[in-house]
Amino acid sequence: MDENLLNDIVAAALSAGADAAEAVGAERRSLSITVRMGELEEVEREESRDLGLRVFVGKRQASVSGSDISAEARAKLVERAVAMARLAPEDPYAGLADADRLARGPLPELDLYDASEPSAEALEDRARAAEAAARATPKVTNSDGASGSWSSSHWTMVTSSGFSGVHRVSGCSISASAISGDENGMETGYDGRSTRWQADLPTPESLGAEAGRRAASRLGARKIASTTAPVIFENRLAGSLMSPLIGAISGPSIARGTSFLKDKLGQRIFAKGVVIRDDPHRIRGLGSSPFDDEGVANEARNLIDDGILTTWLLNSSSARQLGLTTTGHASRGLAGPPGVSTSNLTFQPGTRNQAGLMQDAGAGLLITSMFGPSLNGNTGDWSVGCAGFWFEDGEIAYPVNEITVAGNLLDIFGRITPGSDLEIRGAANAPSLLVDALAIAGR
């Protein structure tokens, strides 16, 4: 969206009585093709152009958004936003980001936009190839479909404090889901990958074959008795263990006092040597951006360094509430005030691959899928349903399902050993993670 148009909206908001204003424009195009059992099943195309406006009247704020950007609609948007702000309750911490924290000068070039746009036929061919490879896998009896997709988005932001920035990204993905079966039942397996550039995607055939292999490997899954044993979280899902950590160190949670880590800043909560890094400037990263969603300069930092919690994740509002400075982690959509989020989060690898972790543990549970996590944010008590494989003598023995693992995250974090098999697959990545003992609820 044109920066001049957004500057005009900000100026109109100030003229209408706002003390400060922030306008954002988002343009998006996407195309997705789904096939199932060799037949075209669904085609989805989206084109959108939307506008968001946040205004401040003293310490009162309001946000509005819309998709009509005509002059008449813009005038109504401004009028409504200022009127709403005048009626809003006061928030002593509300306001735009401090001017000295804004991103200035040349912004980092992160190579996030691939200008080549695939045709619908090309996406369909990718989906067909992925599904065909999955269906060709021995013991795969059915398909839950495969898809190929592409998107392009253009985010522009202008504030009355002098910030103006543009963030343009592309995305593409391939995925496949296979169903295996035998006389004892059916199992599913999935594989998929998303990247900024088409050239970085794995081949559809390799993704489909992996989906089929994972489905077939699940056949014959058993239930196991409740026990306590070593647990390894496979690298594909181990990154989800960082989600409760991120929620617990977010500025709003700390300010509300609702985090089990609220008193742990500067303390060791992971084992010595553990590093968890957030890097908004990773080249072609799925979570990369040249500035945060308040226009603040962002930078790479170790959230956990040598096992020690080094920082909270702060936007301007939570930073003011805590008497600190924003860390450049503001995140927002078109409407509403910013929250916080990470960018490219990486649990740095250790020295042993997954097989080595199994050898170290001897016998235990390798988790390959998780669902229905439950967390008490105040205490850190956590549980999750899962399925995977039981291993003995450091080797896979048989698949298992219908189990739950549980524990307190402070205890779990302190006993995590990272593997060496880190793969960058998304915006949150981790190697396989070994916890030397967890409660496992089975039959």
pLDDT in tens, 353-362: 999 999 999 9
CB neighbours (10 Å) of residue 167? 19
Q: Amino acid identity, residue 240?
A: S
The residue whose two tokens read 């036929």 is 121
Predicted confidence band of residue 333 (pLDDT cuts 50, 70, 90): confident
Q: Give me the helices (H) in 239-353, please.
A: 242-248, 251-256, 316-322
Per-residue pLDDT reduced to its tens digit, 209-241: 999 999 999 999 999 999 999 999 999 999 999
**Among 112, 399, 159, which residue's Cα sits nearest to residue 283?**
112
pLDDT attached to residue 334:
86
Mean pLDDT of 244-260: 96
Predicted confidence band of residue 336 (pLDDT cuts 50, 70, 90): confident
Q: Are strands 140-159 and 39-57 parallel, antiparallel or unpaired?
A: unpaired
Q: Where do the DSSP E strands lie in 84-200?
A: 140-159, 164-182, 185-195
SS3 137: coil
pLDDT attached to residue 335:
82
pLDDT attached to residue 184:
82
Give this prediction's pTM. Answer: 0.95
Class of domain 3-217: alpha beta
Per-residue pLDDT reduced to its tens digit, 273-282: 999 999 999 9
In the chain, where the domains are located: 3-217, 221-443
pLDDT attached to residue 255:
95
| Residue 71 CB contacts under 8 Å (≥ 6 apart), including other chains | none
**With contact defined as beta carbons under 8 Å apart, do 297 and 103 qualify?**
yes
Nearest 5°: the CA angle 101, 428, 337 is 40
